[in-house]
C-alpha cells in the first residue's frame, strides 16, 4: 500500500470541514433547518413549497461552487473508475440507503452527530462501514 502524498492535504481538508460545519451551523441558527442534502432536495421536490427560495439557493451553491472554481482556474475533474451502469446502480443504492436511514451523510454525519443524535451516530457508522466493505470487496475480492 502506498500513500499519494500529493493528494494528502490535511490543511485544505480541515479548512473545508470547518466551512461545511460553519455553513451547517448558520443554516440551523438562522433558518432552523438541518443541512442534509437529501432533505433539502426532497423538500424542494414536494410542491407547493413555501420555503423553496433557500432550498434553491442551497442547491445552486452546490452546483455553482465547482463551476466557479473552474472559472477561477481550479477546475474540478473527478477521476471516476466506473461506467455509467455502475454509477447509476450506486446512485440508486445510495438513494435507498438515504431513504432507509431517514437522511444522508451530510444530515446525519455533519448535523446529527454534532447534536448528539444516537440515530445519526448509528447511521453514520453504517454508512462508513458499508463504504469500507464496498471498497474492500471491489478492490480485493473482485480484483478492481
What pTM does this model have? 0.74
Give pLDDT, residue 88: 93
Give pLDDT, residue 118: 94
Residues of the chain falling short of pLDDT 70: 1-3, 144
| Residue 135: exposure state from Cβ atoms within 10 A (0-12, 13-18, ≥19) | exposed
Give pLDDT, residue 9: 85
Give pLDDT, residue 29: 92
C-alpha 30/C-alpha 35 separation (Å) is 12
Burial of 103-128, coded b for 16+ CB within 10 Å and e otherwise, reads: bbbbbbbbbbeeeebeebeebbeebe
Amino acid at each position: 500500500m502506498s500513500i499519494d502524498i500529493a493528494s494528502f492535504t490535511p490543511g485544505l481538508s480541515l479548512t473545508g470541514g470547518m466551512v461545511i460545519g460553519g455553513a451547517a451551523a448558520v443554516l440551523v441558527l438562522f433558518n432552523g433547518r438541518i443541512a442534509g442534502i437529501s432533505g433539502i432536495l426532497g423538500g424542494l421536490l414536494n410542491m407547493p413549497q413555501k420555503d423553496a427560495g433557500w432550498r434553491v439557493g442551497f442547491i445552486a451553491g452546490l452546483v455553482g461552487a465547482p463551476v466557479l472554481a473552474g472559472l477561477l482556474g481550479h477546475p474540478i475533474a473527478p477521476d471516476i473508475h466506473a461506467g455509467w451502469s455502475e454509477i447509476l446502480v450506486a446512485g440508486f443504492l445510495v438513494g435507498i440507503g438515504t431513504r432507509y436511514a431517514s437522511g444522508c451523510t451530510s444530515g446525519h454525519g455533519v448535523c446529527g452527530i454534532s447534536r448528539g443524535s444516537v440515530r445519526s451516530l448509528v447511521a453514520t457508522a453504517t454508512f462508513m462501514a458499508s463504504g469500507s466493505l464496498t471498497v474492500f470487496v471491489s478492490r480485493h475480492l473482485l480484483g478492481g
